[in-house]
Amino acid sequence: MTRTSDNVTTRRRLLKGGVVSALIGALIPSGFARATVYATADEARRLIWGDEEFLQIAVTLTKDQKTKIRKLSKTRIYRDKLNAYRSAQGNWFILDQVIGKHEFIDLAVGIDNTGKVMGIEVLEYRESYGHEIINPKWLAQFYGRDNSKRLRLTKEIKNISGATLSCRHVTDGINRLTNTWDLVLKHIEV
């Protein structure tokens, strides 16, 4: 008796889970034509900086700083808070997100203590069909999410050939970060 009811509950739970994930599946993954995962944030840090140790530094851009950076780099700034880490040598490791017209790209960028970009690793690339991006609620789910976690919907497709994807938005994003370094990060006292 007990066993049967347990089974029923389990089955119900499974069914519920199935329905929920099917719903999520129907709502979210269809938004992406392609999503590819590369290095994790930790791997990227090691690839750029080896064993150098980093500590997270709380950096929030002021309105004034944002305006200056926006003008210098000619790019939009979506977030005030930086996901930035600094080593004792004064080198920086920054986790950032670039939002293009049709793509979301998670990046890891290393900037040394003279402001030179020492490495850029793409962590995750998501390309959308485009129509969801105008919906701010849909966009909101990507802001400020923890980089150690990943959306479950990613699916890697290997060996793709087709039109060349432009990395212009990444170039703009790097420009924004080097300007951020120059205006803000450089002046933060150790």
Partner 1 sequence: MSEISRAQPWLGTFVEIYINADTAQDEIASISQAGFDKIAHIHKLMSYHESDSELSKINQNAASTKVQISPHMQRVMTLALDLSKRSDGRFDVSIAPELIQKGYLPNTIARPENPGDWRDIELFPNEIRFNKPLLLDLGGIAKGYAVDLAFDCMHEMIPDAHQISVNAGGDLRVLRWEGEQAQIKYLDIMSRSRYTPTPMLAPAMASSGLYPRGGDNHLVFLSTDKRKRPRRNVITVFASSSMMADALTKVAYLADDYLDLVREFGGIALATNWTGRAKVMS
Q: Interface residues with partner 1 (CB under 8 A)?
A: 33-34, 36-39, 46-47, 101-102, 120-122, 125, 127, 129-130, 157-168, 170-171, 174
CB of 95 to partner 1, least distance (A): 15
CB atoms within 10 A of CB 179: 20
CB of 107 to partner 1, least distance (A): 9
CB of 60 closer than 8 Å to CB of 179 = no
CB of 158 to partner 1, least distance (A): 8
CB of 157 to partner 1, least distance (A): 6
CB atoms within 10 A of CB 67: 12
107-130 burial: b if 16+ Cβ within 10 Å, else e: bbbbbbeeeeeeebbbbbbbbbee
Query: In terms of CB distance, is 108 or 185 closer to partner 1?
Result: 108
**Rounded to 5 degrees, what angle do the CA atoms 141, 74, 102 make?**
40
Query: In terms of CB distance, is 37 or 151 closer to partner 1?
Result: 37
Query: In terms of CB distance, is 57 or 167 closer to partner 1?
Result: 167
